[in-house]
């Protein structure tokens, strides 16, 4: 997401916030994956989501569209601790994890639960 009230034609790195923790993850040097319409999940939220949903099986069906793919997915989703409407579906968690691992730009690997 973009920080509120910025000039959309002149977006700075510190204006790019993770949708799930609302930190300026990009300018902090955290890995980031972009979804549709400028939604962002950072590496630490993705680690948390992967741990809870994929490893821990702690997801729950949600009533909001996935912030990353903008689809209402009938599957387990993870939601932000600070914004329950900011959800990410299982598919996007897996896709984002694969994309981050493949990216040469970031050092990130999925948690293994061990
Ligand atoms: Zn985050
Ligand atoms: Zn999704």
How many angstroms separate the alpha carbon of residue 88 from the centre of ligand 2? 5
> pTM for the complete prediction?
0.91
- How many other CB atoms sit within 10 Å of the CB of residue 109? 11
Ligand nearest to the CA of 96: 2
How many angstroms separate the alpha carbon of residue 74 from the centre of ligand 1? 23
Place of tokens 């989703």: 77
Ligand nearest to the CA of 75: 2
| 94 three-state secondary structure | helix
> In the chain, what are the domain boundaries?
13-102
Six-digit token string for 80: 């932000």
Q: What is the pLDDT of residue 45?
A: 97
Q: What is the pLDDT of residue 114?
A: 66
The string of pLDDT tens digits covering residues 41-54 is: 999 999 999 999 99
**How confident is residue 59, by pLDDT bands cut at 50, 70 and 90?**
confident
Q: What is the Cα–Cα distance from 47 to 37, expressed in whole angstroms? A: 22
- Name the region of 14 (left: φ>0; alpha: ψ -120 to 50; beta: rest): alpha
How many angstroms separate the alpha carbon of residue 15 from the centre of ligand 2? 23
């Amino acid at each position: 997401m973009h920080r509120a009230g910025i000039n959309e034609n002149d977006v700075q790195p510190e204006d790019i916030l993770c949708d799930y923790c609302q930190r300026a993850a990009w300018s902090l040097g955290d890995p980031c994956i972009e979804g549709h319409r400028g939604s962002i999940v950072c590496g630490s939220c993705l680690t948390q989501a992967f741990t809870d949903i994929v490893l821990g099986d702690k997801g729950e069906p949600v009533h909001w569209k996935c912030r990353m793919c903008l689809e209402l997915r009938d599957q387990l989703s993870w939601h932000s601790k600070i914004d329950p409407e900011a959800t990410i579906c299982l598919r996007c968690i897996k896709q984002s994890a694969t994309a981050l691992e493949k990216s040469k730009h970031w050092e990130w690997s999925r948690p293994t639960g061990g």
